[in-house]
Amino acid sequence: MSDEQKIQGMGPLKQPDSIKLPKLKFELPTFQPIFNFNKPVETPQETKKKSISQELHDSWTKVFPRLSQEFFDELTAMAERINCKPEDLAAIMFKESRFDPAAKGAGVYGLIQMDPTALKLAIAHAHKNGHKLKDIKIEEYKKLPREKQIKYSEAYVQFRIDEKKLTGKKLSGGQLWTLIKRPSNINNKKFINKLQRIIDNTKNLPLKYETPYSLKHSN
């Protein structure tokens, strides 16, 4: 180092250490396909059925919170097979049993208040038409959950439909309830219309449990 540098307090310049840059990893981004062509596409009929089932569930659980979506899926499917409106069928089951599979009347039981003879007829008719339905007695039937008991309800209603030569015909709520309540009156329009009025009033019952809009959205 020169004398001049010493005077000025300057030391020798050091070479800077080599700068180590971080190792960067570059990965190609992965893209998810916008359309999943392997996913089964619902038909408009399936979507509509699902929507009706959900609406019934949402409505009636305001009255009975423990009712399952599965039950209303079964109810909607049953209504389609016997050719009636699912909302009529739901109203009938409410009037018959309050949707209680253990409901008991005067010697009648379950969702649509069947007696042992009705249960036997339902099972025999189902077997005759190639449907697999477990052969049970009324004591076991009473203990079934509503999601399973409804299959026996359908078998009985189908028996009455075939018996009265209404197979394939669109059933009004009044006709359907007549087949359950008093099959011999199936040609009695006055009786059928009376039951239909009760059904129509019953379908409005869940509306009474609606929270008013003003309360639902108040601060």
What confidence tens digit (pLDDT) does each residue in 67-90 have?
999 999 999 999 999 999 999 999
Tell me what pLDDT residue 15 has.
56
Can you read off the two tokens belonging to residue 202? 């019953």
Is pLDDT above 70 for 216?
Answer: no
- Top pLDDT among 190 and 26 is at 190
- Assigned fold of 44-199: Lysozyme (1.10.530)
Work out the average pLDDT over 18-26: 60
| Residue 207: predicted pLDDT | 85
Write down the domain spans for the chain: 44-199
Residue 215 near residue 72, CB atoms below 8 Å = no
b (16+ CB within 10 A) / e for 155-181: bbbbbbbeebebeeeebbbbbbbbbbe
Handedness of CA 166, 169, 174, 180 (dihedral sign): positive
- Give pTM, 2 decimals: 0.74
Contact assessment for residue 114 and residue 152, using Cβ atoms and an 8 Å cutoff: yes
Output the pLDDT for position 18.
58
